[in-house]
Structure 1
Amino acid sequence: MKLFLLLLVLLAGAACSPVRVESTTQAPGVDFSAYKTYNFLDVTARNEDAFRGSSANIANLKQAVAREMELRGYQRADSPDLWVNIGVVTEAKVQTRETNIQWDGPRYIGQRNYHWQVQQVPAGTYREGTATVDIVDAARNEQIWQGVAASPLSKDPEKLAARIDEGIATMFREYPVAPR
């Protein structure tokens, strides 16, 4: 029974993760085990307010991807079999909440006429970051795999680094080569 409760708590914690994998895609018919080496292309960052002036965040992304690639047996090389391209996009988002009659009450609209309906109202703003990892066959210059993960960005550098690690690790669970 205790084991069941522990498993339930762990699953509930995983379900509450702010990191989500948006998509992963791979080219059909590619033998991923034939590749042995990788390296990074320059980071492509668009609208990168959260990453501006912070090479540490880009370094965290590269470090997380390198860890996942090396877990799968790839070695970093100057003339690699695979190029890794990382794209970063940040976007301002509006957090909303649903109105309820207990807290928001009906509105008086005249002539003893009260009206209330459920609405989405703004509750705050936050920034969301999306990282895209493209794996490209260096010889053919063709993308063979892509993963996309997104998460609200934390202003705390340690939390942001943890979310980057979690997002990349979660994304690479869908990679066609399992960790060794």
Structure 2
Amino acid sequence: MKPFLILLPALSVAACSPVRVESTTQAPDVDFASYKTYNFLDVTARNEDAFRGSSANVDELKRAVAREMELRGYRRADTPELWVNIGVVTEEKVQTRETNIQWDGPRYIGQRNYHWQSQQVPTGTYREGTATVDVVDAARNQQIW
């Protein structure tokens, strides 16, 4: 059984936008029942510059992961058996729409020497991101999920 696959719904609930799971990989021969405690890696253990502006996203993901871990019987501890590392990288994107001759074309053409071509017009901005959740065996310092 892969108990950590159940964390995926928590991640989708935690996010405000649609979630697409790219991959889930579990180390072979890992017995998750043998672990009882977990905690989250400190932000200073990661490249902090890559996570600027996304701390609210990380906090929301932490709450969702903690809820799912505790539902499965794991308890949070200062010296855990499992480390959970959550990372979020976001990028500013521009939302566009395609122009339409019916709505965006001129009302007066003049000498009928006119050429119109559709184009992309910016309408707003949004943030798109990637979240990663890694689970590490604290004693062996080895990623297991």
Same fold (TM over 0.5): yes
Preserved contact between residue 48 and residue 88 of structure 1 (Cα < 8 Å): no
Q: Is the 8 A contact 2:54 2:88 kept in 1?
A: no
Q: Which amino acid aligns with 2:20?
A: V
Deviation at 1:82, TM superposition (A): 0.9
Partner of 2:117: 116
* 1:1-180 → structure 2 map (5 Å cutoff): 18-29=17-28, 30-43=30-43, 44=46, 45=48, 46-51=50-55, 58-105=58-105, 112-117=113-118, 119-145=119-145
Following the alignment from structure 2 to structure 1, what is the Cα–Cα distance between the partners of residues 71 and 23? 19
Q: TM-score, normalised by structure 1?
A: 0.55
For 2:6, the equivalent position in structure 1 comes to: none
Give the AA of the match of 1:102: Q
When normalised by structure 2's length, the TM-score is 0.66
* 8 A contact 1:41–1:83 mirrored in 2: yes
Native 8 Å contact 2:39 2:78 kept in 1: yes
CA gap 1:104/1:37 in 2 versus in 1, 3 angstroms: same
Q: Unmatched 5+ residue regions in structure 2? A: 1-12
Structure number with higher strand proportion: 1
Q: Which moved more, 1:74-83 or 1:124-133?
A: 124-133
Give the residue type in structure 1 aligned to 2:53.
D
Contact 1:105 1:116 in 2 (8 A): no
Tell me by how many angstroms 1:129 deviates.
4.3
SS of corresponding position for 1:70: helix
Distance 1:131 1:39, change over 3 A: same
SS at match of 1:103: helix
Which one has the largest radius of gyration?
2
Deviation, 1:37, is 1.5
Alignment length, in residue pairs?
Answer: 123
Q: For residues 59 and 112 of structure 1, what CA distance do their matches in structure 2 show?
A: 58
Q: Is the 8 A contact 2:93 2:127 kept in 1?
A: yes
Secondary structure of the structure 1 residue equivalent to 2:68: helix
The one-letter code matched in structure 2 to 1:78 is D
Q: Give ranges in structure 1 of 5+ residues lacking alignment.
A: 1-13, 146-180
Could you tell me the percent identity over the aligned residues?
65
